[in-house]
Amino acid sequence: YKNPHYAAGRTTMVHLFEWKWDDIAAECERFLGPRGFGGIQVSPVSENLVLWDFQRPWWERYQPISYRLITRSGNEQQFASMVRRCNNVGVRIYVDAVINHMTGTWRENTGTGGSTANYGQWHYPSVPYGRDDFNYPECVISGSDYFCCADRVRNCQLNGLKDLYQGSEYVRTQIVNFMNHLISLGVAGFRIDAAKHMWPGDLRVIYDRLHNLNTAHGFPSGARPYIYQEVIDLGGEAISRNEYTPLAAVTEFKYGMELSRAFNGNNLLRWFYNWGTAWGLLASGDALNFIDNHDNQRGHGAGGDVLTYKQPKQYKGAIAFMLAHPHGWPQLMSSFAFTNTEAGPPMDSNGNTISPSINSDSSCGNGWVCEHRWRQIFSMVAFRNRVGNTALTNWWDNNSNQISFCRGNQGFVAFNNDYWDLNQTLQTCLPAGSYCDVISGWKSGNSCTGKRITVGSDGRANIVLGANEYDMVLAIHTGTESRL
């Protein structure tokens, strides 16, 4: 369950938060496929409660009312067509599976596909679920429960969301059928929402009943779904993520927190010379790494204090470090712009999501940030694909916030988060030649629109990164996008 089953040479997934299925299919064909992205995490696919009381917040999608595939992102036919079109261009789809609970409010009881529920009666006729399928008697998880009481974290309600009893054979069957239906449609795996709130033993039973990935979508025979479990474990809680790593991969919240702290100027980049398990990170193969996610970019979940698109220079620095560094499987965030932390995606007065528009410079409009279309970010996806499994070597630092390192003889990256310039002759490990920096610009014919770096026969090159430059990163690599 720890292999993302990316198409050959691909390494990175992006969370297209709240995107519609038709728009994702188009984005696979026009951008993500050609640019070498490995996959996409999509927002929850199961029918959810419509919450006009809260002006259709983004979080209504975490309140399932049935397992019908009909949401603001589209219907089942649109979902199936998206998966097919994305797989056809080498981009995998991972579904955010909300299987811990159902809805959490009694004021509204209609779903995005017209299903109804009776929250007070534990009644979800479109599955169907009834009272016996939920943990009972009811209790709600409190803040202190996380530190004392693993059983309450798993058997009580997260935010009052009706808590399913995964120990039941009937409940397991409904969940497994839902997930196997998605596998038959060609998805490559799942994010397990709120995994901490489910018993590892129950999850193991569910995972082991999942079908192999669909060979008609290009997966090798016998391939198991990629599963990454959402467990926020920053230490000190009753539940440890180590209870989940024997099952499948786990979301690594420490990754973005530590890098955000450093790129925010609250820790020195020099200390990252041994970034990895020495810092308490999960083993590389267990980790789904990211800087921000849809929760912590807006103060939900593990909370704020992470870099987001709102601090672009530091954010691009942290993302570049993640993509240049060999540890773990990276995930990028692609957001809609927000000031209100509860607000849903750009929508019309009927609550229909407004599609991103694509500007002439390839950026997005209509309120969509599309971080994945920022050149400094998608160029580093290509960098990571290029350097593959090569080792990190030739770490250099100035005892402060200027660092550089090589990835084998394939790639070189430098960072300057000091308030003074970097101007040094450094070992790039690359074959002698002329390269275009893929951060300040791109290769255009035989010239560079940004910096040109000349690597000598000893592999060394003069590297300049001014403290006041637009970006704090410089990256060069072998392969057509960089080498002249």
Q: Looking at the annotation, which residues are catalytic?
A: 193, 230
Interatomic CA distance for residues 14 and 371, integer angstroms: 9
Q: Are 103 and 63 in contact (CB under 8 A)?
A: yes
Beta strands in 23-169, from DSSP E residues, in sequence order = 39-42, 92-97
- Binders of Ca ion among residues 128 to 157 (CB under 5 A) are 154
CB of 175 to ligand QV4, least distance (A): 14
Of 46 and 428, the one with the shorter C-beta distance to ligand QV4 is 46
Interatomic CA distance for residues 302 and 352, integer angstroms: 29
Per rule CB under 5 A, is residue 202 in the interface with Ca ion?
A: no
From the list ligand QV4, Ca ion, none, which binds 160 (C-beta under 5 to 8 Å, kind-based)?
ligand QV4
Of 87 and 109, the one with the shorter C-beta distance to ligand QV4 is 109
Per rule CB under 5 A, is residue 193 in the interface with Ca ion?
A: no
From the list Ca ion, ligand QV4, none, which binds 63 (C-beta under 5 to 8 Å, kind-based)?
ligand QV4
Q: Are 168 and 199 in contact (CB under 8 A)?
A: no
CA dihedral 89, 183, 197, 303 (to 10 degrees): 10
Which alpha helices (H) appear in 267-327, and where do they start and end?
A: 312-324
Residue from 23, 145, 163, 481 touching Ca ion (CB under 5 A): that is 163
Contact residues: ligand QV4, CB under 6 A? 59-60, 62-63, 98, 104-105, 140, 158-161, 193-194, 196, 230, 232, 295, 300-301
Q: Are 62 and 10 in contact (CB under 8 A)?
A: no
Interatomic CA distance for residues 427 and 417, integer angstroms: 19
Of 60 and 292, the one with the shorter C-beta distance to ligand QV4 is 60
Nearest alpha carbon to residue 323 among 263, 265, 386, 273? 386
CB of 158 to ligand QV4, least distance (A): 6
Of 194 and 414, the one with the shorter C-beta distance to Ca ion is 194
Of 197 and 241, the one with the shorter C-beta distance to Ca ion is 197
Applying CB under 5 A, the span of 181-189, 192-200, 236-244, 447-455 interacting with Ca ion comes to 192-200
From the list Ca ion, ligand QV4, none, which binds 283 (C-beta under 5 to 8 Å, kind-based)?
none
- Binders of Ca ion among residues 103 to 122 (CB under 5 A) are none
Nearest alpha carbon to residue 443 among 401, 483, 478, 403? 483
Per rule CB under 5 A, is residue 286 in the interface with Ca ion?
A: no
Interatomic CA distance for residues 399 and 193, integer angstroms: 40
Catalog residues that contact Ca ion under the rule CB under 5 A: 100, 154, 163, 197
